[in-house]
Structure 1
Amino acid sequence: MGQLWADMIRGYLGEIAVKIFIKNNWKVEVFLDHEKGSLQDYLPMDIHEVLLPNGQRQTPKIKISIKATKWNRIWLDIPGDQFNHSDIHILVKVGVGRDHLFAFFKEISVFKDKILPVGEKIGALTHSDSETLFNELPSFQPIPAYIFGFIRKNDAFKKLPYEGKKGRKNYNITGWKGPISPGDLDEIKKREKAPGKIEFEGIRKFSHNQGYLFNAGNLLWGKKDWDEVIEEIKSF
């Protein structure tokens, strides 16, 4: 349960981090939309509206997708045909772990006011037990977020756009910029004459072999790059 919560909340917090980043650096107010809707409506676009100078809200012409990943990850992994559904893909890492749910429940007194008193009432816990359990729960802390950068859908990509290093037996892929297809890792294995496994830095393997893949170092992140994106967001 804690892991499911962490995965879900990480996505929301990644979007909020981008919203704050844009507001703080360019004074542009963007709006997210987490209401229920069809996959076709919501998959391509995480930034749904922009606040105009006249106070009205308008849907931007470009579609921006925001992908949040774990704090120790470096990959923007876009399976299937999702890459072509958005114009710009942003990667954010968010420091949310499995303990976040329990820390949140502790912060809003779910354990102290509801769960632990029930345990005492039915005789499963003493008051001393409840206090010990409550004090051992993790406390809610500020959640860090870091925006790596973004990639454009219309950038030029080449086949097998990888970087890496060969060990004694295995080959470790440290960089990738573009499409990944079935058979690519077999081709790398032949090219690099690696007798062992072909693995990706920090994650070893992905759950798919068809889509687009980028390491954080291959994303656009400079001020000029972001300035161009913000101007496009403001265009209608």
Structure 2
Amino acid sequence: MPLKEAIKYLGVSKSLLQNSKEIMPFKIGGRIFCSKQELASWKEKREKRTFYLILEDYARCFDFAVAMYYKGYTVVDWGTARKREAGQNLTNWIRGQLGEIAVQKFFKKNFNLEVELDFDLHKEIVPQDIIGVKEGTAFRNPKTKVAIKATKFQNSYLILGTADVEPENRKSDIYILTRIDLPDDHLLRIAKDELEELLKKQKHFDSYKNKLSGFKPIPCEVVGFAYRQELEKIDNTEQLAKILGTRNPSGARYVKVAGKLRDSIEEWKQIIKKL
């Protein structure tokens, strides 16, 4: 199948299809093609590991994000000293917590395992995202340290800062990647009715009133995982800029391309045993 048709068939970006190594395009006579069988197999795999999180899930994450913001937590952009504004902070925190809930549902659906997530606020960053594993009627502490990382739905890499991997009090044994299809206008969607009432008499309202959309379930994909020792440390500026999509990034990152993550049921079962 030609590349353009493959992109349309999967509903993904050109970047993901060519860079994630989840699908291997090939050239014939200077044109790029993809195997129809491989495309169908990956599409089915993605559908099986994608969970649609509802408004209740979103509200739980939004509550956490707002509490974090008013607690005074702020985040700076990678490689800069520039603090992110409130909307960007809220979006990043919401996306991160949605990823954790997706993993929780993934474990329950596929392995009938209940895990406990940490939605409490702490003075310092909590390194591990799974804080309890259910045995019988009670939760116990996990035996393995697990970090859950969330990225945008079209991204191709698991990317970690050195602070997530190197310090003894922060590093995890296993890093799970999730991709979250959180709409750019999600903060507008949850306030659709209030915005319409507020803006209906304003000059430009007619130009966008039909574009205001309400909340819809959010697709969240549990892509796969890597053990800490499988991560690649990259400090080459040019290479990092290509991966991060930014200019002149500073510092090193630990990286694993999505297509090289562990994602088979048998490999997930090994995590379950370790938990």
Distance verdict in 2 for CA 1:10–1:207, change over 3 Å: farther
Alignment of 1:78 onto 2:160: yes
In structure 1, distance between residues paired with 2:260 and 2:237: 19
Question: d(CA) in 1 for partners of 2:247 and 2:260?
Answer: 19
After superposition, the C-alpha distances for 1:180-214 in whole angstroms (9 at most, x for unaligned) are 23xx357x8xxxxxxxxx85257256844313111
CA contact (8 A) 2:237 2:250 kept: no
Judge conservation of contact 1:95–1:143 (CA < 8 Å) in 2: yes
Deviation at 1:64, TM superposition (A): 0.6
CA shift, 1:19, in A, is 0.4
CA shift at 1:132, angstroms?
7.8
Give me the whole-angstrom Cα distance separating, in 1, the residues matched to 2:253 and 2:173: 15
Q: Which 5+ residue runs of structure 2 have no aligned equivalent?
A: 1-85
Query: Structure 1: which amino acid aligns with 2:142?
Result: P
One of 85, 90, 96 as aligned partner of 1:5 = 90
Displacement of 1:97 in angstroms is: 2.6
Q: Name the counterpart of 2:174.
A: 88
Which one is further off, 211-220 or 25-34? 211-220
1:145 match: secondary structure? strand
TM-score, with length taken from structure 1? 0.69
Q: Are the equivalent residues in 1 in contact too, given 2:237–2:248 (CA < 8 A)?
A: no
**TM value normalised by structure 2:** 0.60
Deviation at 1:143, TM superposition (A): 0.8
Q: Hey, what does 1:39 align to over in structure 2?
A: 124
Quote the offset at 1:2 in angstroms: 4.3
1:206, 1:83 → 2: CA distance? Answer: 22
The alpha carbon displacement at 1:5 in A equals 3.0
Question: Is the contact between residue 73 and residue 202 of structure 1 (CA under 8 Å) also seen in structure 2?
Answer: no
Q: Percent identity?
A: 30
Aligned equivalent of 2:114, options 25, 29, 33:
29
CA distance change for structure 1 residues 45 and 56 in 2, over 3 Å: closer, same or farther? same
5 Å-filtered alignment, 1:37-116, equals: 37-40=122-125, 42=126, 44-53=127-136, 55-84=137-166, 85-106=171-192, 109-111=193-195, 116=198
Aligned length: 186
| Change beyond 3 A, Cα 1:22–1:208 | farther
CA deviation map 1:140-196 (0-9, x unaligned)? 1121111111111244xxxxxxxxxxxxxxxxxxxxx51123xx357x8xxxxxxxx
RMSD of the alignment, in Å? 2.8
**1:221 equivalenced with 2:272 (yes/no):** no
Counterpart Cα distance in 1 of 2:225 and 2:146: 10
Q: Does residue 145 of the first structure (1) align with residue 220 of the second (2)?
A: yes
Alignment of 1:84-233 (within 5 A): 84=166, 85-106=171-192, 109-111=193-195, 116=198, 125=201, 135-155=210-230, 177-181=231-235, 184-185=236-237, 199-200=241-242, 203=245, 207-233=249-275
Code of the residue aligned with 2:113 in structure 1: it is V
**2-side partners of 1:99 and 1:185: how far apart?**
32
Give, in whole Å, the separation in 2 of the partners of 1:69 and 1:30.
21
CA contact under 8 A between 1:79 and 1:208: conserved in structure 2?
A: no
